[in-house]
Each structure stands twice: as structure tokens, then as C-alpha cells.
Amino acid sequence: MNIKSTTHCPEPAAIAVKDVRVDVTGKGWNPVSWSQEIKSAGHGSSGTIKFPHGKDNYDIIFNLINNTGHKIRFDASKPVFVERDRPGSPCPSSFNTDQMLVESCDGDKLVIRNWNVEKMNLHYQLNFVTDKGNPVNPFDPIIQNDGGGVKSFS
């Protein structure tokens, strides 16, 4: 029997990937004083990077602005540590989340994919080294995910 189907299954909707730009500025030395400025409107103030509820994925683009007078860069071997928020927990010491993925890291630019799948706060720590590979004190702000995202590797 030859049955011809007239049912059409629609293609899944494309998952949008939106850029969120954050300037991370280091000044002073031993220890470096860190700050961040969220350059993309609608994603928070200087403290917490916020991602609204919805299906979009986000590329968080961290640009290092080095005002220390020393040669520093993102630590390419471990540029970021991330952990789910736990009251009273110390700064993260590993990359322990399925909400994010490091896409690329070079000297002064780090790109992280944030799928924003589940509502949660994520503590993250940006790691830096000198041009000789010596560690520099890290920077550890917060990401607030409101969930609803879908993991996409596009």
C-alpha cells in the first residue's frame, strides 16, 4: 500500500544568538582593582549581568581594558570559573555549569555562550595572568539568568 502524506512538519524556529558586550577594566597593581561596564542595553548595570526569560542564546563578549601599566591577559587555559549560586559559597574554583560554554579566548577578549536555560544566579570568576603566565587576582561578579533558553550550538 502506498500512502502519501500531506502533513508538513514545520522546521524548528531558529534560536537567536544575541551579543552582550561587557568591558572589564583593571587598574592599579597588587592587587588589581577590577570593574565592569555592561555595554549592551537591557542587561543590567555595572554589577550583575542580567538575561531575560526567553528562548534566546547569548554570547557574552568580555573585552579586557588594561589600565594597570603591566602586561596582563585572560588566562587562556582557564579563563573563567562558573558555579550556580549557593548562599555562603566562596568564589567559584572550577567551570561547573551546563548553562554556559567558553567559545573563544585570546589575550584581551573572552566569548562565553550563555544558553539561559534555567532561572538561576551564576557566580563567575574571570581569570587573568601576566605576560609571563603568573596569576593576577581574579574578578568575580554575578550573572542572573531568568531561564527559558534552549541549548543551541549554532
Reading the block at residue 85, the C-alpha cell is: 549560586
Which range (34-38, 60-64, 67-71) has the least confidence?
A: 34-38
Contact 96, 122 (CB under 8 A): no
Reference 60, options 145, 128, 134; nearest CA is 145
Reference 96, options 106, 82, 85, 86; nearest CA is 82
Reference 97, options 124, 57, 76; nearest CA is 124
Contact 91, 138 (CB under 8 A): yes
* CA 52/CA 8 separation, integer angstroms: 32
pLDDT in tens, 103-125: 999 999 999 999 888 888 888 88
Domain ranges for the chain: 17-146
To which CATH superfamily is domain 17-146 assigned? Cupredoxins -  blue copper proteins (2.60.40.420)
What pLDDT score does 45 carry? 67
In this prediction, residues 4-33 reach a mean pLDDT of: 72
